[in-house]
Amino acid sequence: MKVTAPALLALAACASTPSARRFEYAEMHMGTFARIVLYAPSPEAADAAARAAFAEIARLDRMMSDYRTDSELNSLPGRASPELIEVLSASRRFSEWSDGAFDVTVGPLVADLRRGRPPTREALSLVGWRRVEIDGDAVRFPPGTKLDLGAIAKGYAADRALRALGHPCALVEIGGDLALGDPPPGGAAWRIALPDGRALLASRCGVACSGHAERGAHIVDPRTGTPVTRTTLVVLAARNGMTADALATALSVLAPQDGLRLANRLGAQAFIRGRDGHAQTEGFAALLAPR
Ligand code: AMP
Ligand code: MG
């Protein structure tokens, strides 16, 4: 699907739930806040839906966390669940499309960064997306490889949680990564506040924000091992949460013109603010809420 302004601003409201009321939930998941907004006919229906969605997020976190020693991710190489294969396969595609700017083998570099030390030559030698091979349900990689799905798992989990809700007029946010369903009843779109005070009007897509100024440098350039400080805000609207999440990270690393080209290629809209100015795709301005 090409995410153009008309699609995101679709006027069709939730026809199926004319009497639905708004419910909101928040829980800690994946080391951050997970938030659900949904329209449902009753509190009982809303509670049950939110429980199912949070359970799905928790299940995916147990599978994909690099923090948990007992996660399925940390049991690799070996056989993997379909969801993990899906995320690892998608990660390979994002790596290829971004010329290695997005790379889930950055684990050793992120470990150096967290210890507050410059990238070691050893860590750099262990990074490279081509090290990970996927063959059916088998995942193979050489010793020393450390996978980190921190740049894609939240968006993927938001997509899955949105589906698990079973109510079309809903959104799921996990730490700045959003999956948006149909717009609220009677409304044209969800209004998504951006860290810079502006807001996006969007629905039936994924939205992601990477703001480095607020959270400190946590994205590394896989090719040099150095933390990315050039971009201060990246906003993505893409076909789903996983794509928006992965692209927000890739576009933080890429030169703005290369990033915009990649966004265009994937039918996504992007905004990139750097230390000396900003760049955006042609359709981005149409997504902004009027001031
Ligand atoms: P996000 O908040 O989606 O931008 O993801 C940032 C997280 O992804 C970091 O905390 C790291 O765990 C991981 N990461 C850092 N740099 C990269 C990169 N270049 N490619 C993929 N994942 C990365
Ligand atoms: Mg990301």
CATH number at residue 272: 3.10.520.10
Of residues 195, 197, 164, the one with CA closest to residue 181: 164
Q: Convert the pLDDT of each residue in 7-63 to its tens digit.
A: 333 334 454 555 899 999 999 999 999 999 999 999 999 999 999 999 999 999 999
Distance CA 172, CA 268 (A): 19
pLDDT of residue 198: 96
Q: What is the Å distance from ligand 2's center to 282 Cα?
A: 22
**Ligand 1: nearest atom to the Cα of 228:** 16
Q: Whose alpha carbon is nearest atom 16 of ligand 1?
A: 219
Asked if residue 223 has its Cβ within 6 Å of ligand 1, the reply is: no
Instruction: State which H helix or E strand residue 28 sits in.
Output: strand 21-29
Which amino acid does the sequence have at 201? L
Q: Give the number of domains in the chain.
A: 1
Instruction: State which H helix or E strand residue 58 sits in.
Output: helix 43-64
Asked if residue 119 has its Cβ within 6 Å of ligand 1, the reply is: no
pLDDT of residue 19: 81
Does the global pTM surpass 0.85? Answer: yes
Q: What is the Å distance from ligand 1's center to 220 Cα?
A: 7
Order of strands, sheet of 78-79, starting from the edge strand that comes earlier in the sequence: 78-79, 138-140, 133-135
Segments in the chain below pLDDT 50 = 1-13, 15, 214
pLDDT of residue 172: 98
Q: What is the Å distance from ligand 1's center to 109 Cα?
A: 10
Give the other-Cβ count within 10 Å of 16's Cβ.
13
Q: Which structural domain, as residue segments, surrounds residue 15? A: 1-291
Q: What does the longest C-alpha to C-alpha distance in the chain come to?
A: 60
How are the residues of the chain apportioned to helix, strand and coil, as percentages rounded to the nearest 5?
Answer: 35, 25, 40
Pocket test for ligand 1, best of 149, 218, 252 (most atoms within 8 A of CB): 218
Distance CA 46, CA 24 (A): 9
> DSSP label at 26?
E
Q: What is the Å distance from ligand 2's center to 47 Cα?
A: 29
Of residues 125, 132, 98, 96, the one with CA closest to residue 109: 125
- Cβ contact 270:236 at 8 Å: yes
Q: What is the Å distance from ligand 2's center to 265 Cα?
A: 18
- Cβ contact 102:210 at 8 Å: no
- Cβ contact 180:205 at 8 Å: yes
Asked if residue 64 has its Cβ within 6 Å of ligand 1, the reply is: no
pLDDT of residue 212: 59
Asked if residue 158 has its Cβ within 6 Å of ligand 1, the reply is: no
What CA–CA distances, in Å, run from 52 to 20, 27, 36, 209, 262? 19, 13, 11, 25, 35
Length of the chain: 291
Q: What is the Å distance from ligand 2's center to 106 Cα?
A: 13
Kindly report the CA angle at 25 between 244 and 160, in degrees rounded to 5?
40
What CA–CA distances, in Å, run from 162 to 63, 125, 246? 18, 38, 18
pLDDT of residue 93: 98
Asked if residue 112 has its Cβ within 6 Å of ligand 1, the reply is: no
